[in-house]
Copies of this chain bind each other. A is one copy, B any other.
Amino acid sequence: MAGTPKVDIPRERILCEAEALFAERGYYAVTIREITKAAHCNLAAVNYHFGNKENLYMEVFRCLWKPRAKRVLARFESILGAKREVTLAGIVRAVAEAFIKGPLSDDERLRHSQLMVREMAKPTEAFEMVVGEVIGPFQQKLADLIRPFMDREMGQVSLLLQIQSIISMVIHFNFARNPVMRITGREYDARFKDELVEHVVQFCLSGLNGVGKGGNP
């Protein structure tokens, strides 16, 4: 079973299992029969509780994805708020920690980013909702936080590209575990995640030069 829901009613079980399956294999690869079987309930339960498959998919984003995203953002705020003064390094570290370690379990984090990546590849109504209500506002807030550290004459687009670059890295290290593990030969244990956070912070702050000497052999 994929993550134990607090209330053990069929509706919750369906949502939970549906999310896990949608994340892993995508909307069309998953059948209602699979979902209801995993949730130990009758085939008709999906249509009874959610109307149809498409709305079940939307409800996954409304009831599970969105609250979880908010938990991550709350963690970000919390990490940032704990600091005496806000620095550029502090902001980046807060992002990296919230997204790569954060309040989510490993399974949750994987599901979460897989669903998002699938939406980025082919956006549906869910994407509109999530960008409008969660991701968009967050990136704007991040831009406002970072702007004071940037050149005065830097355009808003440039600023947003900086944000996107940070985000692209944390998304990548979350959802592309497979290639990352395969190429680096490392497991996603606590130690490796610490290294990942450290790496993201270093890279975002000073790029390749941050750890290099810049010398030519």
Show the binding face of A for B, using Cβ within 8 Å.
Answer: 24-29, 85, 87-88, 92, 114, 117-118, 120-123, 127, 131, 135-136, 139, 146, 148-151, 154, 157-158, 160-162, 164-165, 168-169, 171-173, 175-176, 178-180, 182-186, 195-196, 199-200, 203-217
Contact = CB atoms under 8 A, between A and B. Distances in A.
A161 B196 contact: yes
9 closest A-B pairs by CB? A168-B172, A28-B28, A28-B29, A207-B207, A148-B217, A150-B212, A206-B207, A205-B207, A161-B199
24 contacts: A26-B26, A85-B216, A88-B209, A88-B212, A114-B121, A117-B117, A146-B208, A148-B216, A149-B212, A149-B215, A151-B212, A154-B212, A157-B186, A158-B211, A160-B183, A162-B208, A165-B199, A168-B171, A169-B169, A171-B172, A204-B208, A206-B207, A207-B207, A207-B210
Nearest to A30: B28
A183 B167 CA distance: 13
A189 to B, nearest CB: 13
A120, A135, A160, A210: which has the most chain B beta carbons within 10 Å? A120
Contacts of A207: 203-207, 210
A205 B199 contact: no
A28 to B, nearest CB: 4
B183 A136 contact: yes
Nearest to A115: B121
A217 B165 CA distance: 23
A185 B155 CA distance: 13
B164 A180 contact: yes
A100 to B, nearest CB: 12
Contacts of A149: 208, 212-216
Contacts of A25: 28, 122
